Structure formats: C-alpha cells, structure tokens
Structure 1
Amino acid sequence: MKNIGIITNNEKDVGFAYTNMLIESIRKFGGQAVIPTRSVTKGMEGLDNEVEEICSKCELIICLGGDGTFLKTARTAYLYNLPILGINLGSLGFLTDIEKGEIDKAVESIFQNNYIIEERMMLSSRIYKEGKLFAEDVAINDVSISRAGIPRILHLSTYIDDNFFDMFPGDGIVVATPTGSTAYSMSAGGPIAEPTSKLIIVTPICPHMLYSRSFVASEERRVKVSVSDGFEHKALVTVDGQKNYEITGGDYIEIEKAASKVKILKIHSKNFFTVLRNKIYDRKEE
C-alpha cells in the first residue's frame, strides 16, 4: 500500500500533532499521505465529505480519534471497499486499537505487509411507517430502538423471520453485530462476541420484566421489531450512534445481514481477547 488516506477528528488531535506524526511516518517508509481539504468544522462534522474526497485516491484509510470517528469514517469508506485502521485518541477504543505511541510501529508493519484484513458483517435496516418503506440504512455496530426522551415504557414486539418471539416492555432494544457486541449492547447487559463471528445479537434495554435476556440469532435470520399500536409518543431508531429516525406506534423496523462488509486492517500482534482483557478489565498482560 503506497497511498494512505488520513481522517482526523480535530477535537481529539488538537493542533494535528498525531496526524503530523503519522504523515511523517508514512513518508519515512516510502508512502504517500492523502489528506482531505480541511474545513472550518470541528470534531466529526464534515467527516463524511472528507472521506468521500480521498476514497478514490488511496488504498487504505487511517483515522485518528475514537470509535465514533472510526464508525463515521467506515460508514462511507466501505462503499469503496477500502480497509480502515484506527488510531485511538479516545477512551476504550475497540475499533481504534492502535495507541498513540504505536503509530510508527503500525505504519512499519503496514509497509512490511505484516497485517491482516478482517471482513466484518454489517446490518441492513429498513424502517416502515404506515406499511410503507420510510428509510434504509446500514450499521457496523448496532441499530437501537429507544424512547425519545419520554419517561414511558416502550412496548416492542420482536419477530424472527416473521415468527413472533416476545414482547419487550422497557426502554428499548439493541440489535448488534459481533463488532458492536462491545458497544451499546454490552452496556445493556448483552454478551460479548468475537468480532469476526457471524451472528446477530438482540438485547433488551432496561426491560420491565424479570425473565428478559439477550438472545443470539444466526446471520441468516431477519429480526423485526414493531412498536405497540398504543404508543402515541415518538420512539427513536439510532444507527451506529450516528443517524436518528423517529417512529411511533404501529411503525416497525426490519434488520438483517447486509450484503456488504466493512474491512478492518489489523496488525498481527493485536489479539481481540488481549484487547478485551486490557480495556474492559484494565489488566496488563502478565
């Protein structure tokens, strides 16, 4: 890989200190850094346009920021079949697993072909209002259906391949990929899955029932979540924590494996279970 695109969350990298370090490292190992035209926007605003700008000019995108920056970048980059590597300038960083002090070593590994590219499954979501398709989107991490700020229990009927599974009263439901199992779904009590697995995780959010548990379906299943007809307030469908859609009683959403996959570049030395242990349990490898 010679041409490497760079996307930076400038609120995480004030003054572009780590970005400049990355550029220098790419040049040192004989590569070309592809940088988008900088705008006056801050943080993740305008990142979509920046990714679009460089996608046709590079073979890999490296993003600097947190997992939110990674997701924002990946949601555009996957359309160009480009692999992505994340440098963690945030907190946990399950997707951005290269730390600040590892930049030079990571770039060296890339130019020595000492890496793998993992293809992760994505979810396709379709929202229906009054029986008609209202919106479509894809998710790398998850799709959540939740209360839109109203302190009322949300009743969600869940179906697997059109077969009724259960009614979940509570704050909502998260439908996650294995990649997203360490995000919102985990916070809601869902299981952690190896990110290269092929399955769909459904986790109730604060369920108002004693027996409620997460359940796991195969990648070939279709999950349908319907808002109770009696719910008059707005509910919110959120995709990857990036995009929101309002729905109400009688509306429903269908979620299944997407046809496309996102490509994540991984340095060989990075093992998911080691990362999990260090980040979740804050333990050092012995």
Structure 2
Amino acid sequence: MLKIGIIPNEDKDEGLKYTRILMDSIRKWGGTALVCDDVASKTGDKELNINEDKMVDMSDVMVCLGGDGTFLKAARTIVAKRKPLLGVNLGKLGFLADVDKNDIEKAAKHLVEGEFTIDERMMLDTAIVRDGKVVAEDIVLNDVVISRGAISRILHLKTYINDAFMDLYPGDGLIISTPTGSTAYSLSAGGPLVEPDVDLIISTPICPHLLYSRSFITTADRVIKVVVAESSHHEAMVTVDGQNGYEVRGGDIIITKKSQVRMPMVRFNEKNFFDVLRGKIYDRGESMK
C-alpha cells in the first residue's frame, strides 16, 4: 500500500479544505495518507505521534499543497531523503505545483495506482566565500539571485566561468538558474525558456546597464563564480529559491555549480513541458481578462 505524505500550506489552504479532499481521495483509492500531528489535529484525523520529519521518512511519495513557493520549500526540506514530490497548485501560476486543485481526486488515483513517472531535476550547490572562508552554503532547485540591497545603487558583479572572466555586469544583479528555474525570475528578466530535463546553467543579468548584455547558457559541468566588486561599499543580497537570504558585500565571492543531488518530481503523462507553457504563459492573458 502506497504511503503518501502531505505537506499543506495553511495560508493558502484555508481550513485545510483541499488537504481533507486529498486525504479522503488517497484512502478512497486504497492508499495511506500521512500528515504530521499538527495537521492531523486540525483535520480531525488520527494522530500518529509523528512530526513532519518522521512523516517524510515513513512516506513513499510526498504531496504539497500551495503554490510554487510551497513546492520549493517542501523540496528543499525533503531532497536529502530522496522522496518524490508532487505539487497541488492552490495559487495562480504554478509551474512546479502543476496539479490543479480541481483535479486532486484524479491525481490521487494516479498516485495510488502507480500511474506516474519520476522526473529527476538538476539542482545547484552555491557557496558564499569571504576572506577565503565559506560563510554560507545552500542547495538550489530554481535559482540563485544576487541583487542590490536596500539602497538603490548599481551593483557591479564580475562573473567568471571556470575561472575564465566572462563579463562585468553593472545593474540590479544577476540570476543563476537551473532549467527548472528558467520559467521563474529568469524568464521575467528576459532569460530563455529551457526544457527542464536537460542539464544546463543559465546566467541572466537583472536590468543591466549595458546595451549588449544578454543571458548566457553553459553546460552543467562548469562552475560559475561571481565576485561583488571591491568598490561596492553598500550591501547586496544572495537569495536562494526565494527561501533563504544572505547579505554579501564588496569582495565576497558566490560560487555556484551543479549539485550531486537531484530532485525527484512526480509527473503524470498527461502533460508535457510545452502543454504547460501554453497553459501557464501563452494563454494566461486571455484567461485573466
């Protein structure tokens, strides 16, 4: 019997309405629905004396309910445990959490009956080096964003690929993204759309003060090194997947490379990447009129 762990975003799932639907649907089709005790007490479910970490350990597959931010938070929590993750979209866009809230019962049936595939997504490791020492490390599914801080001044970022100087980007910052993250902030900044099952690293400048500046795509075996110019006396920020933020200053080095860890994501065969693009981006303007 497939054990399915559930991580809801209670801010988006008011009263845990859709969490209850998911739990009932999993049990209807013969699976086991698992939630941590905090959620169980609110849904009236039997408490098993487990926290979220233990619930993940007990599960074969994980489902999160919310938006893409919820998916990223859940993915970063469970990636080390190698549990496949499916997202139910309770937000507006939802590239990662791509199951519609109205399709929960159908998705539960597919899960319990094994009618799904596992899509292994490339991730990145990023580290911040200051005075020769690593002061922060993180793992990335979508993107690493290096941006100016609270003071609105141009940020100068010296960018290298495998220690070969690529360019000096003056502007609001730089986005280093995976193919999965190509549909997120990088796209809004003018970056390319990349199929998520390839291994590439995308560097996209944010509002560059250069006429010729464009995104740069390189193979996943390269190492991207970004140096905050020594003349930058104001602080900047490194934001990872929109979840964690780190302050950086002049002379700090941000090193990003392909991770040895990959994120297993549950995918149903009904939609391919291009179907999702048409539904989420190209047709979005019409649906919002």
What TM-score range do you get, normalising by the shorter chain? over 0.9
2:134 is aligned with 1:127: no
2:27 aligned partner: 27
Distance 1:15 1:22 in 2: 13
1:10 aligned partner: 10
2:67 is aligned with 1:66: yes
Distance 1:149 1:89 in 2: 31
Distance 1:212 1:172 in 2: 12
Following superposition, the deviation at residue 50 of structure 1 comes to: 5.7
2:275 aligned partner: 274
CA contact (8 A) 2:117 2:268 kept: yes
**TM (normalized to structure 1)?**
0.94
Aligned length: 275
Distance 1:199 1:62 in 2: 27
**TM (normalized to structure 2)?**
0.93
CA contact (8 A) 2:154 2:172 kept: yes
Task: Flag structure 2 segments of 5+ consecutive residues without an equivalent.
Answer: 40-49
Distance 1:224 1:51 in 2: 36
Distance 1:78 1:52 in 2: 12
SS in 2 for 1:38: helix
Distance 1:109 1:125 in 2: 35
1:219 aligned partner: 220
Following superposition, the deviation at residue 134 of structure 1 comes to: 0.7
Following superposition, the deviation at residue 151 of structure 1 comes to: 0.8
Following superposition, the deviation at residue 53 of structure 1 comes to: 3.4
Following superposition, the deviation at residue 113 of structure 1 comes to: 1.7
2:90 is aligned with 1:89: yes
Task: Flag structure 1 segments of 5+ consecutive residues without an equivalent.
Answer: 40-48
2:208 is aligned with 1:235: no
Query: After superposition, what is the alpha-carbon deviation per residue over 1:115-146, rounded to whole angstroms, capped at 9, x for unaligned?
Result: 11000000000100112111110000000100
CA contact (8 A) 1:131 1:251 kept: no
Distance 2:260 2:119 in 1: 16
State how 1:84-123 maps to structure 2 within 5 Å: 84-123=85-124
SS in 2 for 1:253: strand
RMSD: 1.3
Query: After superposition, what is the alpha-carbon deviation per residue over 1:41-68, rounded to whole angstroms, capped at 9, x for unaligned?
Result: xxxxxxxx96423111101110000000
The amino acid of 2:257's aligned partner reads E
Query: Which 4+ stretches in 1 moved above 3 angstroms?
Result: none
